[in-house]
Amino acid sequence: MPEHIKSIEEKIEELNRKRERIQLGGGQERIDKQHAGGSLTARERIAVLLDQDSFLESGLFAEHRCTNFGMQGKPMPADGVVTGAGSVDGRLVHLACQDFTVGGGSAGEVHCRKIVQMMQASLKTGSPFIVVNDSGGARIQEGIESLSGYGQVFYNNVMLSGVVPQISLICGPCAGGAAYSPALTDFIIQTRSACMFITGPSVIKAVTGEEVTAEEIGGPAAQMNISGVVHFVAEDDRDAMAICRRLLSFLPSNNLEDPPQWDAEEIILPDKYLNTIIPVDSRQSYDVRDVVARLVDRADFMEVQEHFARNIVIGFARIQGRSVGIVANQPAVMAGVLDIDASDKAARFIRFCNAFNIPLVTLVDVPGFLPGVEQEYGGIIRHGAKMLFAYSAATVPKITVVMRKAYGGAYLAMCSKDLDADRVISWPTAEIAVMGAEGAVDVIFRNEIRKADDPKAKRQELIAEYKESFSTPYAAASAMKVDDVIEPAETRRYLAMSLDILHSKREFRPQKKHGLIPL
Ligand code: HXC
C-alpha cells in the first residue's frame, strides 16, 4: 500500500481520537467545575435520562462557522449541544442537551440548527421532544446568526405545540433565549441550583437599579412559587431526569395516540373511607389531595405546579390504568377560591390534557371567585374566563364530581354540565347554588330580616330553610345538571366505569383556524 494512503485501522483510530476529544466537551477542567457545582455533564444527563444504551447521537462533528471576536478556528465540541434520539421506558424520544462546558452552552447558528433538526425529527416520528437547558443564551459572538437560530427554535417550538409533548429541563443558569424556548414548551422542570431569567442581576441593576441575586430572581422559589413559570422543582440533575421519565409515563407520544394504558384492578370495591373524608360542615377545610389519593391507582398522583396557586390542585394520575388529568379545588388554601393565578394554572393544564387525549376529572368544592380590587384590576374577568373557555373547548372525556360547595360562576367554571361535561356526579354533601346560604339570605330576605321581631333568629331560620331547599345536589339533579347523586365510597368505581364508557368519545366542532381564548 502506498505510504500516503492511511490504512483502515489508522482511519478508525483517527475517528476514535476525534470522537473522544469531542465527547470530552469543554475539557476535564470544566467538567470538574461542573461536578464540583453538583451538576452532571450533558452526556451524563442523557445517560441518566434515557434507557440504557438507547442513545443514538447525531451532529457530533458539527462545528460553528463564526470568525468574529477570536472565534475563528476556536474548537466548540459538538457546538455546545448534544443531540439525538433514544428511548424512555422503551418509547422513542428526541432530545437536545446543552453543554455548559462548551462556551457556557451558548447557542449559535449551528447549535440552534442541531436543536431544530431534533425538533423536526420529533415531529416526523411523533415522539416527545426533550431539551436540557444549561446556557448563557444567544452566543454573543455570533450576533444576528445566534438570534436567528433562537428565532427558529421558538418557531419550531410552536410547530410542535399540541402535536408532540415538549419538556424542558432547566439544569443550570439559563438566560435570554434559554429561558424563552422553555416557556414555549409544555412543562418546565428546574433543579434547585438552576436559575432562569430573561435578564440577569447585572442587567437589572444597570437598567432599573434594583439589586437582586440570580437565585432571588431566577431560582425555583421565584419561578415556581411566584411567577408560575416552572412546573416541577427537582433536587438535582438526577431527580430532574426521574421527574421527566415519570411525567412521560402519563403522556402519549403524540396527539394522535392515546396515553399508555397500565394494568387495572379486577374489581373496585367501595371505599367507605371516602364517606367521611370531607367535613360535612362547609366552613371546615381539608386537603383535597387526600381525596385524590383515594380515587386514583396506587395513590400515585403527579402534582403539577405544586407550589403555585395552591388554591387549585392539578396533576396526572391513572384510574384503572388510564391516564387522567385531575383538576381539584383545594379547600385547605384560601378555602379553594378561584383567583387569577388559579384560573391561569388550571386553564393551561386543561388545554394540555385536551391536546393529548387525556380525560379530565374535576373535583369541585369551590366557594366562588375571589372578590377584591386587586383581582378586578388584575383582570380576573379575563383570567377566570380562561377556565370557561378551556373546559368548553375541551373535547376529551370530562367527568365532574361535586363534593361540597359549588357556587355561582365558579360552579360553572369547574366543568359544569353546561360547559358540556359528559358526566356530572355529586356527593350528598354537595351544595350547588348561586351563592352560600348566608350571603343569599342577606340579599333576598333583607327586608324580612329587618322587619322581624328577632332579626338574628329570623336570619338563622331563613339560612336553615335555604340550606335545606337549595344547598343540596337535588335541585341541580332534578334540572339534569347533575347526572347522579352517589355515595362517596362509590366514586372510584363510577369514575372507572365512566372513563371506560367515554373512551370512544368523538366530538365534532365547527371548523375554524383557532378559537380566541382570552389571554
Ligand atoms: C457567549 C457566553 C455566553 C453567551 C456565557 N458565555 N454566556 N459566551 N455568549 N451568551 C461564556 C462565558 O464567556 C464563559 O466563557 C463561559 O460561557 C462560562 O460563563 P461564566 O460567565 O464563566 O459562567 P457563570 O459565572 O456560571 O455565569 C453564567 C451566566 C453568565 C449567568 C449564564 O455567563 C451570563 O450572564 N452570560 C450572559 C447571559 C446573557 O445575557 N445572554 C444573552 C441573552 S440574549 P469562558 O471561555 O470565559 O469560560 C438572548 C436573546 C435570545 O438569549 C432571544 C430572546 C427573546
Q: Tens digits of per-residue pLDDT, 129-157? A: 999 999 989 999 999 999 999 999 999 99
Could you count the other beta carbons within 10 Å of the beta carbon of residue 259? 23
Cα 93 to averaged position of ligand 1 atoms, centre (Å): 28
* Percent of the chain surpassing pLDDT 70: 100
Contact 46, 99 (CB under 8 A): no
User: What pLDDT score was predicted for residue 281?
Assistant: 85
Contact 182, 161 (CB under 8 A): no
Cα 59 to averaged position of ligand 1 atoms, centre (Å): 23
Q: pLDDT band at 361, cuts 50/70/90?
A: very high
Q: Residue range 440-464: average pLDDT?
A: 91
Is residue 147 within a helix (H) or strand (E), and if so which, with residue range? helix 143-160
The three cell numbers locating residue 473: 345536589
Helix, strand, coil share of the chain (percent; to 5): 45, 20, 35
Could you count the other beta carbons within 10 Å of the beta carbon of residue 47? 16
User: What pLDDT score was predicted for residue 469?
Assistant: 81
User: What pLDDT score was predicted for residue 1?
Assistant: 61
Q: Is 315 close to ligand 1, i.e. is its CB under 6 Å away?
A: no
Q: Residue range 16-33: average pLDDT?
A: 96
Counting from 1 in the atom list of ligand 1, the atom nearest the Cα of 203 is 40
**Pocket-testing residue among 140, 148, 153, 215, ligand 1, by greatest number of atoms within 8 A of Cβ:** 140
User: What pLDDT score was predicted for residue 437?
Assistant: 86
Q: Is the pLDDT of residue 69 over 70?
A: yes
Sign of the Cα pseudo-torsion (281, 282, 283, 286, in order): positive
Q: Residue range 21-50: average pLDDT?
A: 96
Q: Is the pLDDT of residue 271 over 70?
A: yes
Active site residues: 176-177, 409-410
pTM of structure: 0.95
User: What pLDDT score was predicted for residue 152?
Assistant: 97
Q: Is the pLDDT of residue 102 over 80?
A: yes
Q: Is the pLDDT of residue 242 over 70?
A: yes
Cα 136 to averaged position of ligand 1 atoms, centre (Å): 3
Q: For residue 263, report the phi and psi dihedrals to the nearest 5 degrees.
A: -65, 150
Share the mean pLDDT of the chain.
Answer: 95
Contact 107, 80 (CB under 8 A): yes
Residue predicted with more confidence, 175 or 126: 126
Residue type, 418: D
User: What pLDDT score was predicted for residue 266?
Assistant: 81
Instruction: Please report the domains of the chain, with CATH numbers, ordered by start residue.
Output: 8-249 (3.90.226.10), 272-434+472-502 (3.90.226.10), 437-470 (no CATH)
